[in-house]
Structure 1
Amino acid sequence: MNQQTTPQYAVLIYEAVAPENLPPDVMRAHLDLPARVAEAGGRIVAGLGFQDPTTATVIRSGLLTDGPFVETKEALAGVFIMEARDLDHALELARLTPIVEGGVEVRPLVDFQVL
């Protein structure tokens, strides 16, 4: 019997501004995000920021490459996992993410426990 769970979504944060160059108010807004999401009826389950993209190593077809694979002005800066009622609610909550020069990508997560 499958257990009903609250849908979870990954919110991938893309930013053209390096974390150390983000304005202090934007950094505070990131730290306040869990409370703002909770006020809007969702829940941040986890959140992580990533080191500079130059620290990345990509494995593609068995070959290692330094740095991100695709040239872009924006880099994947972090991710958080949140619970929301549905995709529309997740998109509404993701709009609360402070971004200077970039955007967010919302992806539903697969709950392997209910498959």
Structure 2
Amino acid sequence: MKYMLLVYGAETSWTPESREDCMRKSMTICDELEKEGKLIASSPLMSVSTSKTVRVRDGKQLVTTGPFAETTEQLGGYYILDVENEAEALAIAARIPPASVGSVEVRPLESLPL
């Protein structure tokens, strides 16, 4: 079953050194998952200050600078996994370093008919 792990945290919770350490540990986990055939994709996101939000109302596009919601924790990255079950996805989420300072949301991906 496929799951998306959404990594949330406050951008201010990382020093340059702790962010680098987090990236190194996360890449090790990605390497392990890839060797096991469980990793489909993963990536950190650039700073929330680079984001734009698009809304269409009455057929007109409105683009605003910044994230969809003003919160203390922002979406900072994601993993897409193909694992046996939810328990395995949750166990992997707990291993991801940002889970110790933020949160990791685990959501199953819905299959679309082709």
Q: TM-score range by the shorter chain?
A: 0.7 to 0.9
Instruction: Choose from 17, 29, 32 the match for 1:33.
Output: 29
Q: 1:53 corresponds to which residue?
A: 48
**Which residues of 2 match residues 71-90 of structure 1 at below 5 A?**
71-90=70-89
Cα 1:38–1:64, aligned 2, differ >3 Å: closer, same or farther?
closer
RMSD: 2.4
Equivalents in 1 of 2:106, 2:24: separation in Å? 22
What is the CA deviation profile of residues 54-91 of structure 1, one whole-angstrom value per residue up to 9, with x for unaligned ones? 11111234322110132111111111101111112111
**TM-score of the superposed pair, with normalisation by structure 1:** 0.77
Which structure's residues are more often helix, by fraction?
Answer: 2
What is the CA deviation profile of residues 76-112 of structure 1, one whole-angstrom value per residue up to 9, with x for unaligned ones? 1111101111112111111111115211111101222
Percent of aligned pairs sharing the same letter: 32
Q: 1:4 corresponds to which residue?
A: none
The AA in structure 2 aligned to 1:52 is: S
Q: Where does the alignment leave 5 or more consecutive residues of structure 1 unmatched?
A: 1-6
Q: How many residues align?
A: 107
Cα 1:22–1:43, aligned 2, differ >3 Å: closer, same or farther?
farther
Q: Where does the alignment leave 5 or more consecutive residues of structure 2 unmatched?
A: none
Q: 1:17 corresponds to which residue?
A: 11
**TM-score of the superposed pair, with normalisation by structure 2:** 0.78
Contact 2:11/2:47 (<8 A) preserved: no
Equivalents in 2 of 1:51, 1:66: separation in Å? 14
